[in-house]
Amino acid sequence: MEECSVKKVRVYFFSLLIVLGITMVPTVEAAEMNFSVQAVIPENQQDKSKTYFDLKMTPNQSQDITITMKNDTSKDVTVEVGVNTATTNDNGIADYNGKKEKDSTLKYDLSDLIEIDKEIVVPSNGETSVVAHLKMPKEMFDGVLVGGFTFIEKESTESLEEQKGVSVVNKYAYTIGIQLQETDKIINPELVLNDVSPTQVNFRNVVEANIQNTESAILKDLTIDGKIFKKNGKEALYETKRTDLRMAPNSNFNYRVSLNNDEFKPGVYVFKGVANAGDKEWKFEKEFTIKGDVAKELNEKAVEIDKDYTIYIYIGVGLIIFILVLIILYLLRKVKRAQ
């Protein structure tokens, strides 16, 4: 689990990986950030060497969580604050921006358990604290709840005016992770395959297989090998293998198998996948159909697509053979008449 980090993104910020991913430092100072944040570690922290919140809780417990915010500039800084449950994005990494719909197996959403001011003013050359009010569910739960506090500087009127006409705007954000646990019972991740369907990503044809972690457990070091077969076919038409994936508890994502710039062809197909993490293995298989109108629509939108001209070649060869047969018959008839 990571602690506090900063990351540049285009157009809008993506929350940083926490809990499931990268190494981070207690407080990050970035040249283009006008403030910094740091978690105030409470007594019920499970590992006090960590600088994210890793809290052992009890049912119905209330607790205030404090985060210190520092501003070393000569101007006040207004910061927008959010708290979201971790989801898994379609790149197979944790996401904390709160934009993805919550998973159907998620019982408790951190945004329902934690209250925090949505906007904080950090005074020039000073610091302030933001307090989050946490209220645990009445019922005991096993496993972990994972999420993050996000902090992004609010645009001033002057900044917005300066950005007019600029197509790409770089923004920066901090995320401080939070993990809540009540019991020591070990919960193992469990993967299931949901829908499989043809679609596009950046105008390129792919098949998406929705894979879901139905348990309140973090899944790390995940490898998935996905293959597409024609129904009753023995050889894979397409294959995509990915490693080092991570899934948040009670989350899902779309695993994509690329068609390598090929066209979609109508028909019945089968997705077969194998997922591995540690000593766990899951095998998936699901039939899906690509309808003619769907294939046509997607192929028309696709870029850099490799057209399949096989049928036109067959038609051309057939026409040539037909014409040759007609010529031969004509010549044979002409010779016969001459005799």
AA letter at 301 = K
Contacting residues for 248 by C-beta, under 8 A, at least 6 apart: 19, 20, 85, 86, 87, 88, 94, 95, 146, 213, 218
AA letter at 246 = R
The whole-number average pLDDT for the span 253-258 is 98
pLDDT, position 173: 84
- Output the pTM of the full model: 0.79
pLDDT, position 168: 53
**In the numeric block, which tokens belong to residue 119?**
């906007």
Nearest Cα neighbor of 69 from 151, 179, 186, 142 is 151
pLDDT, position 18: 41
- Average pLDDT over the chain, rounded to an integer: 87
Same fold? 4-181, 191-301? yes
pLDDT, position 315: 80
- Answer whether residue 20 shows pLDDT above 70: no
DSSP H helical ranges for the chain: 110-113, 157-163, 292-301, 310-338
The whole-number average pLDDT for the span 25-37 is 62
Kindly list the domain boundaries of the chain, sorted by start residue.
4-181, 191-301, 309-339
* Local structure of residue 32 (DSSP, 8 states): T
**In the numeric block, which tokens belong to residue 9?**
């993104």
Higher pLDDT, 314 or 323: 323
For domain 191-301, the CATH superfamily is Immunoglobulins (2.60.40.10)
∠ Cα 92 94 97 (to 5°): 125
The whole-number average pLDDT for the span 242-271 is 97
Longest dimension (CA), the chain: 113
Contact 198, 290 (CB under 8 A): yes
Segment 151-190, tens digit of pLDDT = 999 875 455 455 555 445 567 789 999 999 999 999 999 9
Nearest Cα neighbor of 150 from 93, 81, 69, 95 is 81
Please give the C-alpha separations between residue 48 and each of 16, 32, 41, 68, 88, in angstroms, as whole numbers.
22, 30, 7, 17, 27
pLDDT, position 329: 79
Contacting residues for 32 by C-beta, under 8 A, at least 6 apart: 8, 170, 172
Q: Does domain 4-181 have CATH number 2.40.50.140?
A: no
- Answer whether residue 5 shows pLDDT above 70: no
pLDDT, position 114: 98
Nearest Cα neighbor of 96 from 27, 155, 9 is 9
